[in-house]
Structure 1
Amino acid sequence: MSCRGFLCLGLSSTPLFYCSHWGVQATVSWLLSEVFGSQSVSIVAEEDVQALCKSDSAGLLSAVVDAVNECLDEAPNFGLQKPDKHLTTQEVLEAIKRCNSTGGPEGRHWVLDPVDGTLGFVRGNQYAVALALIEDGEIIIGVLGCPNYPMKREWLNYHHHYYQSTSPATNDSWEKGCVMYAKRGSGKAWMQPLLRGNVNFESQYEARLIQVSSVDDPALATFCEPVEKANSNQSFAAGLARSVGLRKQPLRVYSMVKYAAIARGDAEVFMKFARCGYKEKIWDHAAGVVIVQEAGGVVTDAGGKPLDFSRGIYLEGLDRGIIVCCGSTLHEKIVGAVYASWDSSNL
């Protein structure tokens, strides 16, 4: 099964709005079940089916079912098998219900964030569809579909509505949207253009390797942070950035696209320190972590320990926050700065 086609299918442009959350979960769940068998698929995902089953949600449910079937109709364009006939409402609900696993330290679990960065999605900015495979508590595979993240770095600082209208129309000079993926232990991470519309699957560009930046001087490093302040302490992160010599303006990015930026060398540092009471979920990090690591980067908690994906839907035991760096030099400086300046009253 093609990772690229798998993610692109859930991001087809026509039914995109209704494919968000429930639609993507249903599509991914159905595809995984077709390949591996429904009894063998355990999916940890963000949304449950309860809201769709309410009496006043009939219109929404109908729209989701239509969107899922429209997506699956395009499956052959992405090297995948489509259903023999359209899925019924009950079949769509059953597909979403299969996304009820809580993960854990044993067995194989798929971890799915159907639309990571909802505000970015609504505002036409950065968001991602993220899928990871965890076996016995360890991330094995990660895939990130980033529909608004440009293939070419020089377009990164322009809002995509602007550069879509002003950039040349040729494929050689412009590709909006990409898919990144990696397998644990391969030492390689890959990126391909996001397929759109009615295309010849076999004729698309080949994947290319991506690698983290070689920058190790804090003064030259670009620092990623979340756009929204609700669940992160940006003031502490900003103070920490100054203390280690990060001088550039922060690159504020919605969603797991921050991991994508580190993995392909568009930025060097991502730090997140959650506010008191907020618990990080595994679906917000799993796919991005393995992609950054296989691209040559370092991901730990703020104490320098690996993130633990074996304890259910939350990153339990997380030490203060998450630090993602392009290499060990910057990582060691930031971890050291955390120990030197940490004050729990900041969070």
Structure 2
Amino acid sequence: MLRVRQAALERVDHRRPAPALVRAQHQVDPARRYWVLDPVDGTKGFLRKEQYAIALALVEGGQVLLGVLACPNLPFSLHAPEQPVFGQMYAAVKGQGAERIDLGAGDSIVRRLPLRVTPETEPARLEWVERVESSDKNHDVTAQVVEAVGITKEPHRIDSQAKYAVVARGDAALYLRHSLSKTYIEKVWDHAAGAIVTEEAGGRVTDVNGHPLDFSMGRRQLDNNTGIVATNGRIHEQVLEAVRRVLGRSAG
């Protein structure tokens, strides 16, 4: 947690007034400059000793200015089981790109690598990620969307905003999240840090209607958004069109 804080503070303009801190479940005036913190994003993954993240983002005027994801258990590659002994961080600043920070003993930094999404567009070669915990119906809708895009590979199911990190570093081209529940609203702390990391790596993040994530509602929920589509950017419109077709059939 201290390393996450340090990585974020290195990127903050200290000439500005100190921002408030919003932990998951807490509230703050959305017009203010404030931090959003989820100290254990992906609680079930943490309990299973699988994937979880510490997620920290700085928001001002409805815009995410920077984000840091600490992913202690995320392997270097989805296809290689080797896991960093001391974990990784993924950090981004609006307009300045994103990077992966590999940690060593005593919170030392072993190396820093720029992040770029995959340029791949051939459906048969595309990897994708989705939530571990979801209803069978939600997984079924997601599978229909992926099939409509032409993606044939099975999903990598990962807890937490580590899914954004996987897209940002080019391991996957798509992260799709949708709930058939009409009352469910996405939470700010579940997406603020991950979204900017993906976008600054060259990807695109919107809701399932193609609207940018609206953090201007502040405090807790993305009231103006439904679901999440995070891609390498190149396949984004294709995915949105597939979402519209599949959800149209589901509604009918």
TM-score of the two chains, using structure 1 as the length reference: 0.64
Task: Please say if residues 301 and 323 of structure 1, whose CA atoms lie closer than 8 Å, have aligned partners that are also in contact.
Answer: yes
Inter-partner Cα distance in structure 1 for 2:251 and 2:46 = 30
Residue 334 of structure 1: how far off its partner (Å): 0.8
Residue 230 of structure 1: how far off its partner (Å): 4.8
Task: Please say if residues 85 and 104 of structure 2, whose CA atoms lie closer than 8 Å, have aligned partners that are also in contact.
Answer: no
Residue 134 of structure 1: how far off its partner (Å): 0.3
Task: Please say if residues 296 and 326 of structure 1, whose CA atoms lie closer than 8 Å, have aligned partners that are also in contact.
Answer: yes
In the alignment, what sits opposite 2:4? 7
Q: What SS is found at the alignment partner of 2:57?
A: strand
Inter-partner Cα distance in structure 2 for 1:263 and 1:236 = 24
In the alignment, what sits opposite 1:297? 203
Q: Is residue 2:242 matched to residue 1:317?
A: no
Q: CA RMSD in A?
A: 2.7
Q: What SS is found at the alignment partner of 2:73?
A: strand
Task: Please say if residues 231 and 274 of structure 1, whose CA atoms lie closer than 8 Å, have aligned partners that are also in contact.
Answer: no
Once the two structures are superposed, residues 167-188 of structure 1 have per-residue CA deviations (whole angstroms, 9 ceiling, x without a partner) of xxxxxxx5552001000011x2
In the alignment, what sits opposite 1:171? none
Gaps (5+ residues) in structure 1? 10-27, 48-99, 165-173
Inter-partner Cα distance in structure 1 for 2:167 and 2:29 = 27
In the alignment, what sits opposite 2:42? 117
Change in 2 beyond 3 A, CA 1:176/1:231: farther
Inter-partner Cα distance in structure 1 for 2:20 and 2:175 = 30
In the alignment, what sits opposite 2:174? 269
Q: What SS is found at the alignment partner of 1:303?
A: coil
Task: Please say if residues 127 and 155 of structure 2, whose CA atoms lie closer than 8 Å, have aligned partners that are also in contact.
Answer: yes
Q: Is residue 2:94 matched to residue 1:184?
A: yes
In the alignment, what sits opposite 1:254? 159
Change in 2 beyond 3 A, CA 1:145/1:231: farther
Q: Is residue 2:39 matched to residue 1:42?
A: no
Change in 2 beyond 3 A, CA 1:235/1:176: farther
Q: What SS is found at the alignment partner of 1:107?
A: coil
State percent identity of aligned pairs.
Answer: 37
Q: Is residue 2:28 matched to residue 1:102?
A: yes
5 Å matches for 1:77-156?
100-104=26-30, 106-152=31-77, 154-155=79-80
Residue 343 of structure 1: how far off its partner (Å): 3.3
Residue 340 of structure 1: how far off its partner (Å): 2.2
Change in 2 beyond 3 A, CA 1:8/1:154: farther
Residue 191 of structure 1: how far off its partner (Å): 0.7
Change in 2 beyond 3 A, CA 1:242/1:154: closer
In the alignment, what sits opposite 1:57? none
Q: What SS is found at the alignment partner of 2:141?
A: helix
Gaps (5+ residues) in structure 2? none
Inter-partner Cα distance in structure 1 for 2:136 and 2:214 = 20
Inter-partner Cα distance in structure 1 for 2:77 and 2:170 = 11
- 1:109 maps to a residue whose letter is Y
Inter-partner Cα distance in structure 2 for 1:218 and 1:151 = 23
Change in 2 beyond 3 A, CA 1:149/1:232: farther
Aligned residues, how many?
244
Give the structure with the higher percent strand: 2
Once the two structures are superposed, residues 28-82 of structure 1 have per-residue CA deviations (whole angstroms, 9 ceiling, x without a partner) of 9xx9xxx97xx944122115xxxxxxxxxxxxxxxxxxxxxxxxxxxxxxxxxxx
Q: What SS is found at the alignment partner of 1:233?
A: helix
- 2:115 maps to a residue whose letter is I
Once the two structures are superposed, residues 136-182 of structure 1 have per-residue CA deviations (whole angstroms, 9 ceiling, x without a partner) of 11000000000001235552xx3xxxx56xxxxxxxxx555200100
Residue 270 of structure 1: how far off its partner (Å): 0.5
Change in 2 beyond 3 A, CA 1:126/1:334: same
Task: Please say if residues 8 and 194 of structure 1, whose CA atoms lie closer than 8 Å, have aligned partners that are also in contact.
Answer: no
Task: Please say if residues 216 and 327 of structure 1, whose CA atoms lie closer than 8 Å, have aligned partners that are also in contact.
Answer: no
Q: What SS is found at the alignment partner of 2:50?
A: coil
Task: Please say if residues 103 and 310 of structure 1, whose CA atoms lie closer than 8 Å, have aligned partners that are also in contact.
Answer: no
In the alignment, what sits opposite 2:121? 216
Give the structure with the higher percent helix: 1
Task: Please say if residues 168 and 203 of structure 2, whose CA atoms lie closer than 8 Å, have aligned partners that are also in contact.
Answer: yes
Inter-partner Cα distance in structure 1 for 2:113 and 2:137 = 33
Residue 275 of structure 1: how far off its partner (Å): 3.1
Change in 2 beyond 3 A, CA 1:41/1:101: farther
Once the two structures are superposed, residues 271-300 of structure 1 have per-residue CA deviations (whole angstroms, 9 ceiling, x without a partner) of 000231211100000000000000000101
